[in-house]
Amino acid sequence: MEPENKKKDNTGEYIVLGIIACLSIFMLVSSRDFRTLGKLFPQIISGLALVMCIVQAYLTKTKSGEPPKKSKKPANNLKNHYAVVGIGVLYLILLPFLGFILASIAMLVSVPLFLGYRNQKVIWSIAIISTCVFYYVFKTLFYVPLPQGLITFI
């Protein structure tokens, strides 16, 4: 057992964050040469990745001296991980048949229900609002064709 006052060495995590940050900066710089509409998506993704790397490095630095908190429940429930991956695979299978809107709403409702969240109003409102936002961003801003499925009038 390690003594509780010993600081955790986070060198490996900083190295991974540095690599991801360098790749994000490279993508930001190299996407300048893309066409006007074609550079929006890689710039947004690489910018978000860079911001997340900086935030994660800050959180790692501030929490490195604190001893880990003990929780009552185990943090990693392998059954839940496999089930969420299974729901994701089922989503990918149903996506061409149901379409983006119906499949996304079904997935965004089924995952919290499976994990034990029971507030129906919150689940359905988040699922519908998130799906509408994703649909608008990908269809209108990024010009990504999404599967129509059963809803062909959109």
DSSP letter string, the chain: ---TTSPPP-HHHHHHHHHHHHHHHHHHHHGGGS-TTTTHHHHHHHHHHHHHHHHHHHHHHHHTTSPPPP-SS-S--HHHHHHHHHHHHHHHHHHHHH-HHHHHHHHHHHHHHHHT---HHHHHHHHHHHHHHHHHIIIIIS------TT----
Q: Kindly report the length of the chain.
A: 154
What does the domain layout of the chain look like in residue ranges?
A: 11-63, 78-141
Contact 17, 53 (CB under 8 A): yes
- Measured CA to CA, the distance from residue 79 to residue 28 in angstroms comes to 38
Sign for the CA dihedral angle at 116, 118, 120, 122 comes to negative
pTM above 0.75, yes or no: no
**What would the pLDDT profile of 9-67 be if each residue is shown by its tens digit?**
788 888 888 888 888 898 888 887 776 666 777 788 888 888 988 988 888 888 765 55
Q: What is the pLDDT of residues 59-98, one digit of tens each?
A: 888 876 555 566 555 555 778 888 889 999 999 999 999 9
